[in-house]
Structure 1
Amino acid sequence: MSNGPKTDISSNRQKDPDDWISGDEPMTGAQRSYLKTLSEQAHKPHAFAEGISKAEASKRIEELKQALDLD
């Protein structure tokens, strides 16, 4: 059963954070919260930092998710 033309999620690749138009803007509140939580869970407090960009926060979140085997 199909829910429409985009049923293959793996073909919908995420754009590289370095290519984001708004990547230089400060991280969002949601990113801040998630990054802080993941850095604590991974015992890597250095991964969290105030004042980083959206793009950098996204990269750090992905690294921590991989380290925690959440992907």
Structure 2
Amino acid sequence: MTKKQATDENENPKTAGGDASNRIKDPSEWTTGDEPMTGAQASYLKTLSEEAKSPDSFEPDLDKAEASKRIDALRKEAGRG
């Protein structure tokens, strides 16, 4: 077996060929999207809410998918996106 063959066999099929379509999913399609948001999401969302001068945007009961969507929206409002 050549080095090239060994590398090809060990490649991750989700990243092989440079196709990002398997790696980037809409949050509404996440299998864990209905779980509570992570601590990192909560912290970032709170920071962005303050930067966007929209403290009402932070809701501690959001799930992962909702938090991700809110983060994307606030990043744009805060000039980070």
Flag as ranges the 4+ runs of structure 1 deviating above 6 A. Answer: none
Corresponding residue for 2:80? 70
- Distance in 2 separating the partners of 1:50 and 1:40: 14
- Distance in 2 separating the partners of 1:24 and 1:53: 5
Establish whether residue 53 from structure 1 lines up as the match of residue 63 from structure 2.
Answer: yes
Equivalent runs, 1:1-71 vs 2, <5 Å: 6=18, 12=20, 14-71=24-81
**Which structure has the larger Rg over C-alpha atoms?**
2
Q: CA RMSD in A?
A: 1.7
- Distance in 1 separating the partners of 2:20 and 2:54: 30
| Greater share of residues in helix | 2
- Distance in 2 separating the partners of 1:12 and 1:32: 26
Q: Which moved more, 1:27-36 or 1:60-69?
A: 60-69
TM-score scaled to structure 2, two decimals?
0.71
- Distance in 2 separating the partners of 1:56 and 1:18: 8
Q: Which runs of 5+ in 1 are unaligned?
A: none
Q: Which runs of 5+ in 2 are unaligned?
A: 1-16
Q: Give the superposition deviation at 1:69.
A: 1.9
- Distance in 2 separating the partners of 1:12 and 1:69: 25
- Give the AA of the match of 1:61: I
TM-score scaled to structure 1, two decimals?
0.80
Task: Report percent identity of matched pairs.
Answer: 52
Q: Give the superposition deviation at 1:12.
A: 2.9
